[in-house]
Amino acid sequence: MEDLPDEALEQVAAYFQALSEPTRLRILNLLRTQGRSVGELAQLCGFSSANVSRHLAVLGQHGLVERETRGNSAIYSIADKSVYDLCDLVCGNIARLLEREAKTRAAFAAPAPKRARAQRS
Chunked mean pLDDT (size 10), the chain, 121 residues: 90 94 96 96 96 97 94 93 93 92 83 62 53
Evaluate whether 27 touches 56 at the Cβ level (below 8 Å). yes
Handedness of CA 27, 33, 36, 42 (dihedral sign): negative
pTM for this structure? Answer: 0.78
The conformational region for residue 19 under phi > 0 = left, psi -120 to 50 = alpha, else beta, is alpha
**6-80 CATH:** 1.10.10.10
